[in-house]
Structure 1
Amino acid sequence: MSRHHGSSSAGRAIAIVADVMALILGLWILMYLLDANRANDLVRFVHDTADVLAGWSRDLFTFDEAWARVVAGYGLAAVVYLFVGHAIANRLGHR
Structure 2
Amino acid sequence: MIVLWILLFMLGANRDNTVVDFVHDAASWLASWSRDMFDVSPDWWHVLLNYGIAAVVYAAIGNLAAGALRRRW
- TM normalised by structure 1 equals 0.71
Q: Which runs of 4+ in 1 moved over 4 A?
A: none
| Residue 18 of structure 2: aligned partner | 41
Out of 28, 31, 34, the position equivalent to 1:57 is: 34
Q: What is the percent sequence identity of the aligned residues?
A: 47
The runs of 5 or more residues in structure 2 that have no matched partner are none
1:14-43 Cα shifts (integer Å, max 9, x gaps): xxxxxxxxxx11110011111111111100
* Greater RCO (Cα-Cα under 8 Å, separation 6 or more): 1
The structure that has the greater radius of gyration is 1
- The CA RMSD over aligned residues, in Å, is 1.5
The runs of 5 or more residues in structure 1 that have no matched partner are 1-23
User: How many pairs are equivalent?
Assistant: 72
